[in-house]
């Protein structure tokens, strides 16, 4: 994201608004990267437990103590955004 921002001609606020990012969080990571802090690029995994569900195509996602159930499989992009929000 920082690379995209630096290649754009947008202000930080415009960049964050167009991508629905929190400005404060973006500024924090921009500062961390610019000052040379090491940022872990190791992937973070969330356990996904399959269960025998009566509804075909349904799914449950558990992050910490929170559990979400869907009657149909959500779009991957939506799921990725949701998991990012739940991880805060």
Domain map (residue ranges) of the chain: 2-34, 43-88
The answer to whether residues 71 and 53 touch, using CB atoms and an 8 Å cutoff, is no
Predicted TM-score (pTM) of this structure? 0.41
The pLDDT tens digits along the chain (88 residues) read 888 888 999 999 999 999 999 999 999 888 888 887 555 555 566 666 665 555 566 777 777 777 778 777 777 788 777 777 766 5
The Cα 64–Cα 61 span in angstroms is 10
Is 61 within 8 Å of 46 (Cβ atoms)?
yes
| Cα distances (angstroms) measured from residue 48 to each of 15, 67, 78, 80 | 32, 11, 16, 13
Distance, CA of 88 to CA of 86 (rounded, Å): 6
Give pLDDT, residue 65: 73
CA 31: distance to chain centroid?
Answer: 19
């Amino acid at each position: 994201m920082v690379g995209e921002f630096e290649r754009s001609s947008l202000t930080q606020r415009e960049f964050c608004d167009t991508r629905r990012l929190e400005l404060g969080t973006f500024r924090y990571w921009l500062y961390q990267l610019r000052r040379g802090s090491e940022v872990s690029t190791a992937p973070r995994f969330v356990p996904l437990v399959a269960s025998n569900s009566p509804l075909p195509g349904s799914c449950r996602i558990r992050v910490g103590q929170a559990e979400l159930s869907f009657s149909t499989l959500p779009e991957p992009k939506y799921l990725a955004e949701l998991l990012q929000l739940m991880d805060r």
